[in-house]
Structure formats: C-alpha cells, structure tokens
Amino acid sequence: MSYFDAASAAPLHPVARQALQASLDEGWADPARLYREGRRARLLLDAAREAAADAVGCRPDELAFTTSGTLAVHSGIEGALAGRRRVGSHLIVSAVEHSSVLHSADVHEASGGAVTQVQVDRAGRVSPSSYAAALRPDTALACLQSANHEVGTEQPVAEVAQMCREAGVPLLVDAAQSLGWGRVEGDWSLLTASAHKWGGPSGVGLLVVRKGVRFAPQGPADERESGRAAGFENIPAIVAAAASLRAVRAEAAGEAARLRELTERIRARVPALVPDVEVVGDPVRRLPGIVTFSCLYVDGETLLHELDRTGFSVSSGSSCTSSTLTPSHVLKAMGVLSEGNVRVSLPPGTPEEDVDRFLSVLPGAVSGVREKLGAPETATKTPASVDSLVVNALGRRCPIPVIELAKVIGDVPVGGTVRVLSDDEAARLDIPAWCEMRGQEYVGEEAADHGSAYVVRRLS
C-alpha cells in the first residue's frame, strides 16, 4: 500500500518513535514540582521547547505547546483579538485558510466582530496588495497561511507581514504545512503549527506569540505554558514532536529536491495520460510534495475508492467526498474544477517506483469511473438545428450535471445555448470550469423555480 496523504498526517518519523519511547520513562512526572522526578520532566520539557523554538526561529519563552494545531489556531486568534480589543474588532483572513482559521472567523463575526476575506487568484495565491487594501484603522489581527493544505501553493508571507507591521497590525501565520520544510520568513507576530504534519505524534501543537504582541489568553486562567494552553503537558509527545522536527529539518533540503522532482513528474504526465484533467495550484511557488488535479466527468469518492483498491491512499477536495455535498472552499475560492479532485501529498522517503506505479494505474481508474457514470467519449457531436436546449439535472449530484452538458453541447449550433438546471452547489463552480477547459462560453447563472439555470454558449 502506498500512502500518498502526508498533507493530512505524515507517518510517524523513526526519530519521533525513539524519542517517544525513551521519554515515557523519564517524562511522566509533573514538571512544575521540585522533586527529582519533576525536575527530570522539566528538563525534558525545556529541552524540547528550546529545540522547537530554534526550528521556528523564536525565543523559547515565546513558544507554548498545545494539544493540537487547531487549538493553537483558535487560542492564537482569540488571544490576539482580545489583546487588541481597544484598537478594534476587524479580522482579516484569506479565502483559502484552513477550516480552523475560518471557523474562528465565523465565531468572531457571530459575536459582533468584522471579518474581511481576501480572495486569491486561480493558482490559490493572495496578492500582498489585496491584504494592504483590506487593512483598516480598526484592524486587530490578520491571518495568512504559509502554504495551502489542499493545493500546496505558498503564500507571500514576508511581503504581507511587512505591510501589516507598517500598519501596526499583528500577523498570525498558520505554518502547519510548511514548518517541516523550513522557517517561515518575514516579520510575523504569531505562528501556529501541528506536529503530526511533519511526522511527530498527533496531539501536539505549537503557538508562538512574539514579545511585544498584545495577547490576552481566553478561558479560565491556567499557570501552565505561560497561561496560553491549559492542562497537564504531554511531555513524551512534546519531546517526540521536537525531536522529529529537528530530524526532518536536517533532511529537508535533499528530500525537498527529490519530492519536487516526483511531483513535477506527476504534474507533467497526468494531463498527458488522462484526458480532460486540470492540474491546480501554483506550478512554481508550492510545497515540494503536494500535487493536486481534477478530472472532468468523475465522481471523486468513487475514484478515491478505486485508487484505494489498487493500493494508493490519496485525498480529495471534491464535493463528492463531503457529507455536505459542497465543493472544497479552497477550490471554490480559486475558481477551478472541483469534481474528480485528487490530492497527492508524498511523505518523505516515497520511492520513485511508487509514483511510477501510480501513474500507470491512474488512467484505468479514471476511465473505469467515467464509464460507470456514462461520461461522453468526445466533447461534441454533429451540430443540429436546435438553437437552445435545456438539461434537467435537478436532484443529480456532481459530476452528472457536467456530464449531461457535455453530451448535448454538440446538439446546438455554434452560437446556440444550453441551460443546465441544477440544485447542486458544485455546479456553480464546475460548469464554468468545464467551459474554460472545453473552450465554450459560460454566459452566467439565472434564477429558476428549483435550483439555478447555468447558461452555456457553444463557441466551437
């Protein structure tokens, strides 16, 4: 079995396993106590904090260990907003942030705060000028991920941090996906990360608050971790997290170059091997091990099951794999195809042979899924004299509305239109994306008695 979902959780690094086992015998006592066992535990905790701080590029007393990356994000945003409540209650986030950031923004807005969501380009990248334009006199905090978890696009953190610093606004960086590859550059103010993303144990997060940043921890007071993370520290897991972060950093340069070559191979060969595929994300400014693509006329969940059956564990941002039947917020913000979405995220040490085998089985897997769904073999048919057609795809989920559109587009002459009736949220994204891929014109969305009518004009 080939595990290609390291962006969700990286396999436990051997150094993490060794450190975890070794510290179980020494790190079980309360590090706040002055007796021998407590002092040993405190030494382990302090050493882990120093190692993690060195990897981040901060002072040890600026770094707190939390029970997860998600809790680090929630605590960081809440504390920073509370610390600057006299300035205002305006929060800035990007449209492609991790759900933990967006959920915190939703809670803030529901409690009366203001939120500005900065949009991204088709590669999933924000522009520094957009963040600058979003800054206001009452802006209390801005948030920006270092790199995207779904498509791997790296963000211009240093430039945005500089603009925020000049405006006197702290910037919180979610570095969960990138910290294992290197420090986050720029004059940021707060940083969060999660150990299971770099091969550490789950249940350990990092929250860094730079000196001078106004910060007011929320919730009942707790004396541990500078009051920023309540509860007894899981010292063995913390030691393993810090040890594995140091280990992956030592291997990062060589492994990044190797994984980048493998993902470049996937990016180049998938469109050549599989027709009607869109590779998404920035082709250059991206993390080494992540490559994401979407396949027309494919049910994402079925494709993932098919790939699992052939021995590959991958993930997807497709609406077809979500219980809410809504597209990934990242793909939606980028305006790219969401159906049949596959994210390949290679863990360090992935053999070249596994990638080649994946490329050999993918075409058959996609073809099999398309055949089951009745997808068209060609994009168009011989033109007929009907100037306008209506496709009723109400009650049918992705990718069926797009498949039905592709089947009939050739039944109208050049200049003719097809109206697709659909009540699937994914159609709002996938039909325009299909038009761009197939060289047709997306006219727009019209109101309908049920759902919406998506109008497409045939150009070729």
Task: List residues with catalytic annotation.
Answer: 320
The residue with tokens 């099999």 is 368
Q: Which residues are paired to 185 by β-bridges?
A: none
- Distance between CA 30 and CA 64 in Å, rounded? 17
DSSP string, 158-210: HHHHHHHHHHT--EEEE-TTTTTT-PPPS--SEEEEEGGGTTS-SS-EEEEE-
The residue with tokens 């993390």 is 287
Tokens standing for residue 154: 């790296």
Going 444 to 447 to 451 to 456, the CA torsion angle's sign is negative
Beta strand 190-194 with 171-174: parallel, antiparallel or unpaired?
parallel
Q: Which residues are paired to 126 by β-bridges?
A: none
Contacts of 192 by beta carbon, 8 Å cutoff, 6+ apart: 69, 72, 73, 76, 172, 173, 174, 175, 176, 205, 206, 207, 208
CB 19 within 8 A of CB 243: yes
DSSP 8-state class, residue 154: B
Residue 301 one-letter amino acid: E
- Distance between CA 169 and CA 153 in Å, rounded? 24
- Distance between CA 235 and CA 26 in Å, rounded? 9
* Three-class secondary structure of residue 72 per DSSP: helix
- Distance between CA 96 and CA 302 in Å, rounded? 25
Tokens standing for residue 374: 């009745």
Tokens standing for residue 24: 């179980």
